[in-house]
Structure 1
């Protein structure tokens, strides 16, 4: 009897062998979704590639129960699952689970009742008989053969549901089953795109050519903020769709991308299909199924959209490729930017990486010729880049108890007086990052993490931004019990808002932080209010750097430009220069020139000097030269082992054993073990080890052999992070 390998969406060592029932005419093809028994229950898996074990005794085999009526998983996606599993050292089933993230989509789609024109309705539509104006509008809204819901008909015709019911009772409409699943309208490729400038036209032509080749290749598209990179790569999306292939655009924060989605709809006449964590289960099911059946041509999504079932993927765009939001830190740890390149290669698709501030890894790949490179040197529409200057807080410090220096306060006043908008940026949520007792010095700490509790005055609580623990602000110190002795230290965005209320009482203010902009609807409303000039002063955290276009914003003030530069993080300087450059790029994007003021206690820092000089290229070149001698990324390889356990002694023991048995040899070095910067996270004690290797050494075989030498108890978790981005 035929045997097949079936991979299940479980963290198992590999695929299991199953038997094809003798009564079946043929065995299901590789990629088929099948129902199989496992330990007394039924599971859905995928028929996987490779030969079953011929030596497995027949009595140990179980029959495949059913083949599901759903398009099979493509060979390129199966290869991608295996590749990601091997690269990240995860079981293939754990990766497969991400590719089966909408289980209900594998079930037969349910049909719903709707309405269509009856024979009498079609005659009336042709003009036979007399109709009221409302009934005429209903007939005009329905084409013969179309089946629509009552709600859709009412909305399209602008009538009440009672009118629809009345027409059904009159025999003009009849009940019919609607097509299963949601319809996703196709983009209109005949709509003219915006007029592109000279450099934009050259770049767009190159991306169209790369897409039309229908072969793998990676292009880095860079350009100053506001140079029109989005419109350029949308030309490549159009080219891909004309070829009948599918396009994927990855955005780092899809919930904050209201303006991007509006731009897409202006270009193609319809909104794109979306994929992100805030989609409801029904929408996820319909999107997954429609994509697998080829009914979605272009999808815009977060990093998990890489694992969706595209029948013919022709283009992947990674916008803001430098963003750390593309790194998945839990479960299967991977970087979506890097995996997008792999998915494109396996799909024979073009890949475009886009950023005004590309990562050093991507820049190096472009400089060495692995990636093609395109650059847009000027802002679109004749807008100029903002002037950036420093405020040395040693010379002009803020008033006691304040955080905005006199020059910045004066600049905001002047900007508001001119009728323009200003922004104050501080990459710190809440009211204050630390609360301590004036009497005994006790600091309010998270009970689950080695982190301070952040005061949120609006919500009247102290919260941990790592595990989510929250507690009311106590009336007295928990240590010495002194009344009213707890004092907030340092500024958060809420504290800047409080100060702005005192300094600019007439200004209409809006706080843009993850606490206040909780999802797509809130982001859309914020963008609308700012564009409509209902806001004078924007106060925001890092979400204001996410590609917003505010034409009347001419001043950006960075409250603490030094934030993020301290500490031993390898990428601290690179990330800070990227963030501040992106924030600065919000200013002066239209006719009025913009300016940026950076408050700093260390104005001589290379990051700040580079921002003032506008020499991002020079800074990145210096950063590369600093990393090259020590073989630090991108000139070497890193992999982290994070050991965690509820028992601190167990974490220390396993970390010590791993440290003693680490790989050795030329070009290989093990650093640690050492307590992680967040040594306690969500109640688990954490220790880190770092494997550092030359660029030409593959770290995965070293990691597998290393982990195999140490016995790890079930109570201890060892997470492998190949190419770590965060060192917390």
Structure 2
């Protein structure tokens, strides 16, 4: 290698967004403008790929096994996009270490939009020549009727694209381009994307804050002004005005020129939230979720990276967006299990939001009417500042909650609504008010079986029953997405037309409501019908405008919605979710039912909640009836502490999966036999996972339980690092598991 080569090139490290062990060494010009976080194009094998500069000062250390310089390839080029901010790089490293994931797999979430790495090409639009049709004819171009319509449209209007002109004039784009090629139109280069509008932090609020709200808002805005890390738990009853409180912190961050990230657990929740944001700040924020079109996704990613998107509301993946000047993070409905990503890199969005704020540094606000036990524990120990809103905003009061004992009030045969709930719904209809019937089961029926032989229709790829979706005319697996038509004959016994639906889903409840209240207007609301922000917005409008009398919904309607005329909430099966060995079953059931109960009586009309149950003595339901959230949390915490379960201990789940069940058993047994054996660490399993077959792969589960003071990641690294796992077997590590399927 020549002296010139040695002098002009330096060794750097580039992390590539693939599940690789770490960054690779490359060479770069010594005088290049590459910095930590620069997004670059590099060779990888016989192809080109994108990566991020992870280290710009790599010492030569051949004795450490470092690849010799002569074998290194040079960086091809730096891409024309801002470098990833240092907090994002540190977040990638932190998440990879905490979750035992490959750094490159985590990086892939941060640079998920490669189209954004190049500036957007200008959009070509067209306008008329001075002189209009006469000038065109002077060029010797023939004026056809189609061309005449194009010229008339552009005579006084703004420049338009060929597609816009064609759509508005009923012509083809070839007519437009033919005119332009002949010189009959003037081409204009327009910016590819309109800039995101700036929210107005000083826009007048529609309603003043209460004294309690103002005090909490003052604490939040002071934290924003401090521009340092802090975590605050904003805890208030449903309808207490928590959103308006943290909007004040958003406004303060905007006044200081900072960016704001607001996380929501469900895309469908964003419609109501976006309306409230626009009412407060005059514009809509940027959005980030799976429903975005590719062009919008590219524009949003780049606008965030350039600091031009000031407020963004998004799903958990928005945590990895390259905010260069983040001043506030808000995690709304922080207790929601939807913040946990269960596939790929397994992480909890709420917890990583706290890490992201710490690395920035900036304040983070966790918001909920039913905070997670972990968050409450952190507040009690002083790690989080606890802000409590105790009253509903304005004239609204908490609804009454009644337990309807189904042992005494049995519904009619073949039906599921008990008489007390029917009477309450009848009263709401007569008063011109609205009701919500809540059942957390999608589709028509959770189980379809043969009345002749008892055969149950199951998914061929999962150990799960197929759910009938009668509106869609199919059976569907809610785990892998498999769907099929209802067979004419039973595959087990051959009997024709023998299948019957067992148990109710929301579609079946709709049949019952239609039969009992034929004059009522109802709407089914589930993830099957509310499959994006646009559908959610239309649902909100129809309820607000009084076009719906009865809502039949799953958990998607349990939070985030404010319907002033909704006064009756009926829960068909309040016991659903209480059974089973899930660590968080009681907590999740309480949170869900508390949230759905909170939909009633949010304005001047008092609300009434009826929970249909076979076990009214259950502590969870008793706590709901008494609105005794703190009492429930205290009992739940005491039970967890006795068992050494989170937040008083640590858990990790290990899932071994393979297409061959014998191979899955063999590897799981190998892992189990090598398990560590020392004080404070217990390993349960291996055993078949509750969902033992998923997407055609057989699953075996181990659960690792440790004391709080033990570094569970270090235990797992040492243990699993000694085990040879075949490439056809997948091992998933879930630190702090939320799902036990």
Same fold (TM over 0.5): yes
CA distance in 2, matches of 1:187, 1:120: 41
- Among 372, 380, 385, which residue is 1:372 paired with? 385
Question: Would you say 1:683 and 2:696 are equivalent positions?
Answer: yes
| Residue 138 of structure 2: aligned partner | none
CA distance in 2, matches of 1:520, 1:296: 20
Cα pair 1:429 1:513 within 8 Å, conserved: yes
Residues 1:299 and 1:447: Cα distance change in structure 2 (over 3 Å): same
In the TM superposition, what whole-angstrom CA distance separates every residue of 1:152-176 from its partner, at most 9, and x where no partner exists?
9999xx99999xx9xx99x9x9653
Residues 1:548 and 1:151: Cα distance change in structure 2 (over 3 Å): farther
| Residue 83 of structure 1: aligned partner | 94
| Residue 459 of structure 1: aligned partner | 472
CA shift at 1:115, angstroms?
A: 6.8
CA shift at 1:496, angstroms?
A: 0.6
| Residue 197 of structure 2: aligned partner | 185
SS at match of 1:380: coil
| Residue 28 of structure 2: aligned partner | 20
CA distance in 2, matches of 1:148, 1:436: 59
Question: Would you say 1:7 and 2:15 are equivalent positions?
Answer: yes
| Residue 124 of structure 1: aligned partner | none
Residues 1:708 and 1:426: Cα distance change in structure 2 (over 3 Å): same
CA shift at 1:406, angstroms?
A: 1.4
| Residue 669 of structure 1: aligned partner | 682
- Among 293, 306, 331, which residue is 1:280 paired with? 293
In the TM superposition, what whole-angstrom CA distance separates every residue of 1:607-628 from its partner, at most 9, and x where no partner exists?
1000000001110111000001
CA distance in 2, matches of 1:458, 1:176: 49
- Among 440, 443, 446, which residue is 2:456 paired with? 443
Cα pair 1:141 1:153 within 8 Å, conserved: no
- Among 107, 110, 113, which residue is 2:124 paired with? 113
| Residue 481 of structure 2: aligned partner | 468
Cα pair 2:11 2:56 within 8 Å, conserved: no
CA distance in 1, matches of 2:718, 2:127: 65
SS at match of 1:185: coil
CA distance in 2, matches of 1:102, 1:27: 23
Matches within 5 A, 1:367-406: 367-406=380-419
| Residue 345 of structure 1: aligned partner | 358
Cα pair 1:151 1:161 within 8 Å, conserved: no
| Residue 131 of structure 1: aligned partner | none
Cα pair 2:404 2:611 within 8 Å, conserved: yes
| Residue 127 of structure 1: aligned partner | none
CA shift at 1:182, angstroms?
A: 3.4
CA shift at 1:432, angstroms?
A: 1.0
Structure 2, unaligned runs of 5 or more: 1-8, 133-150
Residues 1:383 and 1:148: Cα distance change in structure 2 (over 3 Å): farther
| Residue 40 of structure 2: aligned partner | 34
CA distance in 2, matches of 1:287, 1:152: 23
| Residue 98 of structure 1: aligned partner | 109
CA distance in 1, matches of 2:347, 2:489: 44
Q: TM-score, normalised by structure 2?
A: 0.91
CA shift at 1:108, angstroms?
A: 3.0
Cα pair 2:689 2:701 within 8 Å, conserved: yes
CA distance in 2, matches of 1:469, 1:362: 37
Cα pair 1:454 1:463 within 8 Å, conserved: yes
Cα pair 1:627 1:635 within 8 Å, conserved: yes
Residues 1:141 and 1:199: Cα distance change in structure 2 (over 3 Å): farther
CA distance in 2, matches of 1:52, 1:200: 52
Question: Would you say 1:646 and 2:663 are equivalent positions?
Answer: no
| Residue 70 of structure 2: aligned partner | 59
Matches within 5 A, 1:473-512: 473-512=486-525
Cα pair 2:330 2:365 within 8 Å, conserved: yes
| Residue 328 of structure 2: aligned partner | 315
Q: TM-score, normalised by structure 1?
A: 0.92
Give the count of matched residue pairs.
701
Question: Would you say 1:592 and 2:605 are equivalent positions?
Answer: yes
SS at match of 2:295: helix
Question: Would you say 1:44 and 2:47 are equivalent positions?
Answer: no
In the TM superposition, what whole-angstrom CA distance separates every residue of 1:494-518 from its partner, at most 9, and x where no partner exists?
1111111111111001000111112
CA distance in 1, matches of 2:382, 2:125: 56
Question: Would you say 1:413 and 2:421 are equivalent positions?
Answer: no
CA distance in 1, matches of 2:242, 2:514: 37
Matches within 5 A, 1:318-329: 318-329=331-342
Question: Would you say 1:576 and 2:589 are equivalent positions?
Answer: yes
CA distance in 2, matches of 1:369, 1:697: 21
SS at match of 1:462: strand
CA distance in 2, matches of 1:26, 1:474: 66
Cα pair 1:181 1:290 within 8 Å, conserved: no
Q: Supply the RMSD in Å over aligned alpha carbons.
A: 2.6
Residues 1:349 and 1:160: Cα distance change in structure 2 (over 3 Å): farther
CA distance in 2, matches of 1:485, 1:149: 59
Cα pair 2:202 2:251 within 8 Å, conserved: no
Cα pair 2:237 2:391 within 8 Å, conserved: yes
| Residue 355 of structure 1: aligned partner | 368
Residues 1:362 and 1:117: Cα distance change in structure 2 (over 3 Å): farther
Cα pair 1:2 1:27 within 8 Å, conserved: no
